[in-house]
């Protein structure tokens, strides 16, 4: 896990107070990679139960040129993975996350979100390490700040109503059965996604009776 601080830290600390998803107690702010060149890989982070409000929505450009909205994945389990290509534990984690995505392609949508890097660098990186999920670009780190991300990699698992249910700060062992069990449990859980009442079941509006003739007082014909 890369716990970082440095040049951009003051702005991220200020943004912490506006975040709808709180920072972990032990994490410091994410900043420029040059500020912490010696970030070391973790030994494997756990997906811990996480209770929070609905996740802040985002609309981000994808590496392939598309535009992707979080709300479009409503109704499926969603995994939001925040990373950077300069982060060593992030690079080590991606192949296992790609295999995980293939195993759960029928039930899980995965968004990998690169923060604060130029498009060309990210594109070159994935030319040598293709993955099985879309890579989105948080160029100005606005998504990172609104989600309270303070270390890389950080992963959120959302239920079908886009509520955060699990979070891992650090690299996760996606090939281990524990990760599969988390997803299987969420996929099997019924979640209300604010369904609309079908038109056939809606109570009809009361009929409006026409007014009587204002001159003669006679009822309408």
Q: Output the pLDDT for position 27.
A: 32
State how far the Cα of 41 lies from the Cα of 212, in Å rounded to an integer. Answer: 81
Interstrand relation of 108-115 and 77-83 (parallel, antiparallel or unpaired): parallel
The length of the chain in residues reads 221
Interstrand relation of 164-169 and 67-69 (parallel, antiparallel or unpaired): unpaired
Q: What token pair was written down for 108?
A: 């899980």
Count each helix (H run) and each strand (E run) in the chain, helices first. Answer: 5, 10
- Tally Cβ neighbours within 10 Å of residue 45: 20
Q: What token pair was written down for 192?
A: 């209300």
Residue-by-residue pLDDT tens, the chain, 221 positions: 665 544 344 333 333 333 333 333 323 334 444 333 333 333 468 899 987 677 899 999 999 999 999 999 999 999 999 999 999 999 999 999 999 999 999 999 999 999 999 999 999 999 999 999 999 999 999 999 999 999 999 999 999 999 999 999 999 999 999 999 999 999 888 764 443 333 333 344 444 455 555 555 565 55
- Tally Cβ neighbours within 10 Å of residue 29: 23
Q: Output the pLDDT for position 204.
A: 43
**Residue 83, H or E segment:** strand 77-83
Q: Output the pLDDT for position 192.
A: 44
* Residue 45 CA to its chain's centroid (Å): 18
Report which DSSP code applies to 211.
P
- Omega prior to 180 cis, within 30 of 0: no
Q: What is the pLDDT of residues 30-42, one digit of tens each?
A: 444 433 333 333 3
Domain ranges within the chain, ordered by starting residue:
2-31+42-192
State how far the Cα of 28 lies from the Cα of 45, in Å rounded to an integer. Answer: 17
Q: What is the pLDDT of residues 83-101, one digit of tens each?
A: 999 999 999 999 999 999 9
User: 191, 159 in Cβ contact below 8 A?
Assistant: yes
Domain 2-31+42-192 has CATH 3.20.20.70: no
User: 4, 40 in Cβ contact below 8 A?
Assistant: no
Please report where in the chains the tokens 């109704």 appear, as a residue: 75
């Amino acid at each position: 896990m890369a716990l970082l601080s440095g040049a951009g830290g003051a702005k991220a600390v200020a943004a912490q107070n506006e975040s709808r998803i709180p920072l972990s107690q032990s994490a410091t702010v994410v900043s420029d990679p040059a500020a912490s060149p010696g970030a070391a890989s973790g030994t494997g982070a756990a997906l811990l139960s996480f209770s929070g409000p609905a996740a802040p929505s985002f609309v981000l450009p994808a590496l392939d040129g598309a535009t992707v909205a979080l709300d479009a994945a409503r109704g499926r389990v969603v995994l939001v993975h925040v990373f950077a290509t300069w982060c060593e534990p992030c690079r080590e984690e991606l192949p296992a996350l790609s295999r995980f995505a293939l195993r759960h392609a029928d039930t899980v949508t995965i968004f990998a979100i690169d923060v604060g890097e130029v498009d060309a660098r990210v594109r070159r990186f994935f030319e040598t390490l293709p993955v099985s999920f879309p890579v989105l670009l948080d160029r100005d780190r606005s998504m990172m700040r609104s989600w309270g991300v303070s270390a890389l990699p950080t992963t959120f698992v959302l239920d079908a109503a886009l509520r955060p249910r699990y979070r891992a700060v650090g690299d996760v062992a996606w090939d281990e059965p524990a990760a599969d069990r988390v997803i299987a449990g969420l996929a099997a859980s019924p979640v209300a996604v604010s369904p609309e009442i079908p038109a056939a079941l809606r109570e009809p509006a009361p009929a409006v009776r026409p007014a009587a003739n204002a001159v003669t007082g006679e009822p309408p014909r």
